[in-house]
Amino acid sequence: MIKKINIVCLMLLTMAISLSAQDLKPFEKGGFDELSLNGTWQFSVDSLLSRSDEWTQPSYQSSKWDQLPVPGNWDVENAYANFKGTGYYRKTFTVPSAWKGRKLRLCFGAVYQATEVWLNGNYLGKHVGGYTPFEFDISNVILPGGDNTIALSANNEYGAGAWWHWGGISREVKLVRNNEQRIVWQHIVAEPDLDNGGASVFASVKITNQSDQEFSGILTSNIRECASCERIEKEVTIPSHGEISANLTFELMPDEVKLWDFDNPHLYHLQTDLKTKNGDHPLHSSTDRFGIRKIEAREGKLLLNGQAVHLNGFNRVADHRAYGQTEPDHIVKFDIDAMKAMGCNFTRIMHYPQAVNLLDYCDEVGMLLIEEIPVWGKGNPEIIPDNPLTKQWLREMIERDYNHPSIVGWSVANEIADPDLEGRQMSPNVYNYVKTMIDYVYTLDSSRLKTYVSYTVGNAEKIGVDPADLCDIICFNSYGEAANIAKKCHALWPDKPIFVSEIGKGQVGLYPDTAVLAESLQSAIRNLENLDYVVGSSLWTYNDYRSRYPGTPASQNRAWGVYNVWRQPKRSAGQIQSLYASQTSREELPTMDELPDQASERAPTIWTVIPLDKSCMVGFSVGDEKDHYEIEYKNRQGKAKLLKIENLQGAAKIDNLPPGSYSIRIRRLMGTAAGPWSATRETMIK
C-alpha cells in the first residue's frame, strides 16, 4: 500500500514539475493556462508543396526543411530576403496530459497575409489579414500527452502601400486552455466629469458558454486602484453554446480620479471574475488596463480633458532590417522615446493595426494615436461598400485594442480614390465605402473619433462629394500646399478639427550629414501652427523603411525618415525637434549605435552590426543595386571567414557565430576584382 502511495505521489510530482517547466499559470486561480509555441519552426518555400496536402500530415518528413524563429519574418534571412510567395511552416510539440477534457484554442497574434492552418492533419481554417489576431478551437483535434503537429501556409504577395510586406509569423503563437465558460473581452469606457471631478467607468463584458447546458453564475468586478468603489456582483445566465454581454458601471469620487494625459498618463486596472454561484475559484479571470480621459472634436478643435490641444507627430513604419515587423520591446521603446524627445504627442501612426506592446507603451508615456486598417491607395480592391473583409479587419483591431487610452480614433482607409476617374477623385462607390465602414465602427465603438485619411479633400467644392462629411476629425495628407487645403476644408466644414496626417516634401536622404528637411516643408509646418482649427501635423516619416516602391534607393531603404533604418538620427531629426518641441523641453536625441565616421555612396560603409541569437545583422551602404559584396568577419580566436552576398541590398546576416568578440568589414566585388575594405566595426556575440 505504501509503495502504491509513493508511486502516485511520484506521478503527481512529475506532473507538477512538467507543468512548472512549461511556465503554466495555475489553472484554478485564473481559469486558464497558456503554453507558448514561440521558438524554432521548420520552414520551406518549395512550390511543389502546393500540389497536395501531404506536407500538412504529422507523418510527413520535413527534417530537411530550414529552421526559422517564431515570431519572425523570413525576409530577414539571406536566403529569403526578397522572397514573395507562399512559405510553409511546421512545428511538433507536446501538450500536458492534464489538459485533456478542457477547451483549447490555438491563437496567432498576426501572420502576413493569407494564412491556412492544419493541426494533426485536420484543416482548421483560413485567415486573411496580416496585422490582427485570430484563433481556432482545437479541443477536438488536440492530443494531450502526445505529439501534435501544426502545419501553416503564409502568403505575402498581397501588398498595398510603399512599406515592405514582411512575410511569415510576425507575432506570438500560443495554446490557451480554458473552461467551457470564459470572458471573451471586457471593453471599458472611462469618462471624467470635468465640472465636478468625478468619473464614470462603463464596462461591457462579453462571456461565452461552450457547454451543452445553460450556465448560471456570478460576474464579480472591481477597479483595483479605487478604494471607495464598491465591488460589483452580477448574476448572469448564458444559453448553451451561446454568449451574452453584461454591462457594469462604476462611479468614482473626485479624490479617486487621476486623469490620463500627456504628462501624467495614469492607468487603472479592471479585474473581472466569472464564477459559479457556489464556486470559490473563478472559472475565468480577466484584467485590463484603462485610463480616464475625455476626447472631443467640436467647434473646430480637438479637446483632451476639456483643453484644446495643438500637437505634432510622426508616421512610424513598423519596420527594422534586423527584426522585420516583429516589434521587439527595445525597438518599440526606443522609437516612442525618440519621437517624444522630438516633440511628438499625436500621430496617425501608420496604415495598419499596431503591435500590442507599442500600444501599451504609448499608454504608459502619454501618446495619442489614430489607428487604421490597411486599405491604401487609388483603386484598392477592398474599396467596396459593406466589404466583409475590411469589416473583419476593423472588428479584429477594435476588439483587441479597445481599452488603450492612447487610441483616440479609428481610420477606415488612406488616400483612396476611384481608378476610373481622372486624378485622385471621389466617387459614390468610394463615398459609400467610407460611410458603411464608419457606420460599422460606430457599432463597435461609439466612444472614439472616426475618420478616413484623404488625398482628395482639397478638391471638394461642396458638401456631399467627399466622405469628410462623415468624419469627426478631417485627416488629409499633403506634400505641398497644406495650409491652403486646410483653409478650403475649414470653409466647408467649419465645426470639424483638421489633422494633417502626413506632411512631407521629398525623401530626406540616406546620409545623415546631408539629410535635411526642405525649407518649404519647414515653412509649411510653421504655417499650419497659425491655423487654430488645425490640431497638428504628422511628418512622413519618423524612420526610414524597407521598400520596393519606385524611387527607393538601391539599399531598399526608403529615405523619408529623420532616423535611418538602424535608428541613427540624421540632421533632419534636430530640425524637426526645433519645430515640434519647445526650447526648454528639448533633449539630446538618442541613437542605437554611433554613426560611422564617413559614409559614402561610392565606397561601401558598415552602418552598424546588430548582435542576434548566434548571429548578427550587418547594415551597409549600397552604391548600385547590381553590386555584389564580400563581408569578412573574424574573432580573436580564429581566422577570418568570408561571406559573399548577392542581391542583398543594405543588410546581410552572418549565421552560426560562436560567442565572442568579432571584427567585421566589407568590400565591393567588381567582376574578378575587389574594391578596398571598409573601416572595421566591432561586435560582441553572447
What span, in angstroms and rounded, lies between the C-alpha atoms of 178 and 32?
Answer: 4
C-alpha–C-alpha distance, residues 246 and 206, integer Å: 7
Cell numbers standing for residue 568: 541613427
Quote the pTM value: 0.94
User: Can you tell me whether residue 260 is helix, strand or coil?
Assistant: strand
Per-residue confidence (pLDDT) for residue 583, from 0 to 100:
61
CA–CA dist 246, 204 (Å, integer): 6
How many CB atoms are closer than 10 A to CB 518? 13
List the beta bridge partners of residue 608: 619
Q: Give the pLDDT score at 281.
A: 84
3-state secondary structure of 89: strand
Q: Quote the radius of gyration of the chain (alpha carbons, Å).
A: 27
Alpha carbon distance 614, 370 (integer Å): 38
pLDDT in tens, 329-349: 999 999 999 999 999 999 999
Distances (CA, A) of 173 to 37, 40, 60, 135, 152: 5, 12, 22, 10, 12
* Model confidence band, residue 29 (pLDDT cutoffs 50, 70, 90): low
- pLDDT higher than threshold 70 for residue 385: yes
Residue 452, pLDDT above cutoff 60: yes
Contacts of 307 (CB under 8 A, 6+ apart): none
Residue 37 and residue 173 in contact, taking contact as beta carbons nearer than 8 Å:
yes
Q: How confident is the model at residue 19 (pLDDT cuts 50, 70, 90)?
A: very low
- Helix/strand/coil percentages in the chain, nearest 5: 20, 35, 40
- pLDDT tens digits, residue range 146-166? 999 999 999 999 988 899 999
Neighbours of 499 (CB within 10 A): 28
> Which CA distances in Å does 222 have to 87, 183, 455?
46, 15, 45
* Angle (CA) 593 595 597, round 5°: 145
Evaluate whether 381 touches 158 at the Cβ level (below 8 Å): no
